[in-house]
Amino acid sequence: MRPVGGGPVKIGRAGDPEQRLVAMQRDSPVPLELLATIRGRPILELQLHYRFREAALHSEWFRPVPELLEFIEAIE
């Protein structure tokens, strides 16, 4: 997810991504949007954090670098 219109991207894990968006929205000062979801084991989140580590900002938030945005766009 990320702020609507652009900004840092959150790479996280949730049993119900839509419900997680609602929960995150309650604590966010800006509107958020869900960009993509991938089914996978919990280790996938760690693998993605590692893959995009050079774009890491804080915790699960990453700069929207072209490599990350291209990865997200490729998810069907």
pLDDT of residue 37: 96
pLDDT tens-digit profile of 33-64? 999 999 999 999 999 999 999 999 999 999 99
Question: 10 — phi, psi (to 5°)?
Answer: -95, 125
Kindly tell me the sign of the dihedral angle through the C-alpha atoms of 25, 31, 46, 74. Answer: positive
pLDDT of residue 9: 98
pLDDT of residue 28: 95
3-state secondary structure of 56: strand
Whether residue 25 is predicted with pLDDT greater than 80 in this model: the reply is yes
Spell out the domain ranges in the chain.
Answer: 2-73
Q: How far apart are CA 26 and CA 28, in angstroms?
A: 6
Cβ contacts of residue 13 below 8 Å, gap of 6+?
42, 44, 45
Confidence band, pLDDT 50/70/90 cuts, at residue 66 = very high
| 12, 18, 23, 26: CA torsion to nearest 10 | 120
